[in-house]
Amino acid sequence: MGPILEKPSNPSRTIVLGLLASCRYTTCAEDCSLRETHSDLSIEEKYEYAQGLSDEEINSILAQYESCYEKRLLDLNQW
């Protein structure tokens, strides 16, 4: 079985891979660490990228995404 079919090591890494593949906020903030990878990498490269991240980097990306999500909710409630 090829590496793309192996299970990611933890659920957080799976979430980051999902964000790399299809984040709903493609017009993300300038400081988004995933901004460049949304369109620049193939799905296989995104998988390898996610697998190469440390647990600390994964947690940082998820915290940043949560912050972005909350900001967007607040912006929607301003209407």
Domain boundaries, the chain: 7-24+31-77
Please give the pLDDT value at position 5: 52
pLDDT at 7 over 60: no
Q: 25-52 pLDDT, tens per residue?
A: 656 666 677 776 767 788 899 899 899 9
Distance CA 29, CA 67 (A): 11
Q: What is the mean pLDDT of residues 22-26?
A: 69
Distance CA 37, CA 20 (A): 7
Please give the pLDDT value at position 1: 43
pTM: 0.72
